[in-house]
């Protein structure tokens, strides 16, 4: 029985190294070694609102969640955020929020990674923190 020859070209080696880099980069992201994301807390958001500051507020929760309680932001559910990236300002501060801050963090990570946004801020603690610390009349769910 003959052993087949294995021929590897320079291009194949280069491609393999690129895939290996991407694999390890994704692992770094999973274990949270990616660069720290910009955040604001609910008191900073309230101050921005009260001052009439020009910023965009994006809510990445689902429509039924928005109907329960909202801060008046533009609803773009997380599952559609990439398709609606053109609706997000690149010219002013953009605060992204969800219920607790995790989905908005995911949205920001993907928007920064795919489109290079540099003006996105995660609302630390999400709408739950806003309800707990700023407006207790805002329903919790």
Distances (CA, A) of 65 to 54, 76, 77, 134, 140: 25, 12, 10, 19, 10
SS3 (DSSP) at 141 = coil
Which position among 57, 98, 108, 123 bears the catalytic label? 98
Give the CB-side neighbour count of residue 6, counting CA atoms within 13 A: 3
Helix (H) or strand (E) holding 11: helix 10-30
Question: Is 6 labeled as catalytic in the residue annotation?
Answer: no
Active-site positions? 98
């Amino acid at each position: 029985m003959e052993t087949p020859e294995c021929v590897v070209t320079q291009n194949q080696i280069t491609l393999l190294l690129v895939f290996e880099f991407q694999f390890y980069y994704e692992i770094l992201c999973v274990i949270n070694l990616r660069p720290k994301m910009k955040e604001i807390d609910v008191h900073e958001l309230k101050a921005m609102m009260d001052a009439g500051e020009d910023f965009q507020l994006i809510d990445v929760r689902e429509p039924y969640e928005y109907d329960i309680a909202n801060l008046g932001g533009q609803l773009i559910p997380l599952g559609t955020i990439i398709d609606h990236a053109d609706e997000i300002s690149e010219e002013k501060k953009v605060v992204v929020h969800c219920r607790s801050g995790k989905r908005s963090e995911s949205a920001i990570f993907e928007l920064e990674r795919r489109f290079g946004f540099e003006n996105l801020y995660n609302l630390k603690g999400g709408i739950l923190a806003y309800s707990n610390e700023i407006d207790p009349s805002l329903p919790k769910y």
